Amino acid sequence: MSVNRLPLDPLLLDDKSDLQTVLAAWHNATLRLEQTHEALREEVQDLTRELEVKNRELARKNRLADLGQMASHVAHEVRNNLVPVTLYLSLLRRRIADDSGALDILDKINSGFTALDVMVNDLLHFTSDRDPHLQTFPLRRLIEEICAALAPQLKAQAVQTAIDVPRDLQIVADRDMFRRAVLNMVLNALDAMPEGGCLAIVSCTTPQGVELEIADSGPGLSDHVLPRIFEPFFTTKQGGTGLGLAIVARIAEAHGGEALAVNCPEGGAAFTLRIPYFNSGREAAA
């Protein structure tokens, strides 16, 4: 038995097709909206995390600024009182020149005041907020001056030095500040080699700037110490101020550069002071 089917209305077919098209477009739009919403949500989370980090860093800098002002005041007061005490100790030494026992005690007192003077100098350098007085000077000559000044300590610790700094390399920086930074890096390297070793001082030019690397053959830096090595007042040395390498980082930043620290593959640690080319002899010669 055959059944006669009514022919479908073309208009109904067109309406059904249009509805499917609309539903498909709506589905695609919904998917794109969900994807956009998810991307925006992730972006907001990233920005929120970055803002939290920035806020913590800003709060840390504000605390350090307050601490720096207080430390500067204390350092100046201590230095003002150290001057007359040092004079009195010198006068006392003359009066007890024939008393060896008393002189031994006086030497220990002098050592204590010397350590205190070093701490005061570190505080004053760390809290100094002056702009660099730029000048052009040969880097190797500065390195040789520092090594010559430390020659007795290098010899006493049986530390060999290897300097690979071109004699014609000129940099533009504040010489006094730069000397302080390099001196602190060298002293830090010597602290890592109390039983002797090798001190390597190397410079090179890179796309980022002029780099000066000071490496030691000591035990290197632990995973706990490495991320905090330039943090103010962080130290692993008994009696240390924790300001030596913080001063290096501050001087680098004042010159538009940066200070870096890594462990050497062959052992020991390497500290790098990087100065960008706008502060280097390359631009000065251009």
Which CATH number belongs to the domain containing residue 194 in this structure? 3.30.565.10
Tens-digit pLDDT profile for residues 70-100: 666 666 677 777 778 778 788 888 888 888 8
143 and 270 inside one domain: yes
167 and 280 inside one domain: yes
- Does any domain span residue 205? yes
- Does any domain span residue 3? no
40 and 158 inside one domain: no
139 and 195 inside one domain: yes
- Does any domain span residue 1? no
30 and 115 inside one domain: yes
Distances (CA, A) of 235 to 191, 215, 241: 12, 19, 7
Residue 254's Cα: distance from chain center in Å?
Answer: 11
Q: Which residues are CB-contacts of 249 (< 8 A; sequence separation ≥ 6)?
A: 230, 258, 259
Residue 154's Cα: distance from chain center in Å?
Answer: 25
pLDDT score, position 72: 64
- The DSSP secondary structure of 86-103, one letter per residue, reads HHHHHHHHHHTTT-HHHH
- Does any domain span residue 224? yes
Nearest alpha-carbon partner for 247 in 152, 163, 177, 149: 177
94 and 24 inside one domain: yes
63 and 32 inside one domain: yes
**Mean pLDDT score of the chain, rounded to an integer?**
80
- Does any domain span residue 57? yes
Alpha carbons 51 and 56: distance in angstroms, whole number? 8
100 and 144 inside one domain: no
pLDDT score, position 80: 73
140 and 95 inside one domain: no
Alpha carbons 218 and 270: distance in angstroms, whole number? 10
Tens-digit pLDDT profile for residues 50-78: 888 887 777 766 666 666 666 666 666 77
25 and 69 inside one domain: yes
Alpha carbons 231 and 35: distance in angstroms, whole number? 42
Q: Which domain holds residue 12?
A: 8-129
